[in-house]
A = this chain, B = another copy of it.
Amino acid sequence: MVKSSSDRRPATLADVAAKAGVSVMTASYAFNRPQRVSAPARAKVEEAAVALGYVGPDPNARSLRRRRTSSLGVVLGEHLSYAFDDPQAAAFLAGIADVCAERSYAMTILPTTGGPEDTRRIRVAAVDGFILWTTVDDDPVLATVQALRLPAVIHGGPRVDGLGLVSIDNRAAAREIGTATFARAEHPAVLAFPLDRRREQQLAPGLTPSTASFPVTRDRLLGFRDAARRTRHPWQSVTVAVCSHNDRAHARAMTERLLSRPDTPDAIAAMGDEQAIGALDAIHAAGLRVPADIAISGWDDSPFAADLGLTTVAQSMRDQGGECARMVMANAPRHVQAAWSLVRRNTTRD
């Protein structure tokens, strides 16, 4: 039998109820709380549903009525695709994903490009709350999320009124690893993440930390400056090499520039393991020994760091992602300091 054209409209719960000879509510319960419905009624509903090709309640209608979507919005800075290339971001997402899987939430990834449409994309996202990957102080997305009045947590920073924050104490951690790296050095240097979204690369002696509008970059610079002070190096004598991108290639290129300067550094504190690995490439190419000629440290304790015996800061992005997700789901965003630890291996002298 050929279906008539009216059959093309997908069946609704009302259709199923009518066909099953029950009220719409009984049909609704049959799908949502099967135990609340008598076995025969449930059977009739199921049969009718199969006959009509009805798969289940429409998600949008349900969300509208229930006033929740069971989906978490995850806002990733700038070029989204980059997030998947960054192992730290990937681990963070994995942590969110674990909690979502466990609690039957979906994860809505919200592409952000840095352009003006970003705020619109955030506004139209059907989600119950937001998790924001670390961004700059003046990211317009922050105000949008704030205005939406949904639970939201930022990872890394900045601090925003009303939004949660999950981060390690970057300044303290940088102070520790910086001290280990700069110990017994003559000419310390820093390999830094971009300062802001302009991502200009530069070599700046004694760079003022507050120049950075990425809080993570800023706090680590502050910590490295503290470390310089503790190891008796005037900050002005510490060259900060700011990379435009957090990857090996850029770090290697900047390190080459550092090494070709008059006061060749004999200690480099990097803000990421990938940067440190790029720096090691340049250092080895220059025929220098680590740590005898030059000490180096990374950040994040990636598998590569362990392979290379790199001194680094360990933190669990995965746990932090999970923590963010739980806070948003519980509608209880708070400020949480995550755990970190210094992992001393053999690329530093201490």
A binding-site residues for B, Cβ under 8 Å: 10, 53, 55-64, 69-71, 73, 79-85, 90-91, 93-95, 97-98, 100-101, 104-113, 117, 120-121, 123-126, 144, 147-149, 318
Contacts and interface: CB of A to CB of B under 8 A. Distances in A.
A301 to B, nearest CB: 16
Contact of A107 (B57, B61, B109, B124): B109
A125 B59 contact: yes
Given A106-B108, A113-B101, A85 B80 contact: no
Nearest to A89: B84
B80 A84 contact: no
Nearest to A117: B104
- How many copies of the chain does the oligomer comprise? 2
A69 to B, nearest CB: 6
Considering the complex of A and B, which 6 residue pairs feature the smallest CB-CB distances, nearest first? A101-B111, A81-B94, A59-B126, A84-B90, A80-B97, A107-B109
A331 to B, nearest CB: 15
A341 B71 CA distance: 39
A256 B105 CA distance: 41
Best-buried of A57, A80, A83, A111 by chain B (most CB within 10 Å): A111
Contacts of A62: 124
Contact of A108 (B91, B95, B108): B108
A149 B10 contact: yes
B85 A97 contact: no
Contacts of A94: 80-82, 84-85
Nearest to A248: B303
Best-buried of A106, A110, A121 by chain B (most CB within 10 Å): A106
Contacts of A149: 10, 53
A217 to B, nearest CB: 24
Contact of A123 (B56, B117, B123, B124): B56
A141 to B, nearest CB: 13
A83 to B, nearest CB: 8
A65 to B, nearest CB: 9
Contact of A84 (B61, B97, B105, B113): B97
Contacts of A61: 64
Contacts of A95: 81
Contacts of A144: 55
B101 A71 contact: no
Contacts of A106: 73, 108-111, 121, 125
Best-buried of A58, A60, A62 by chain B (most CB within 10 Å): A60
A322 B297 CA distance: 37
Nearest to A103: B111
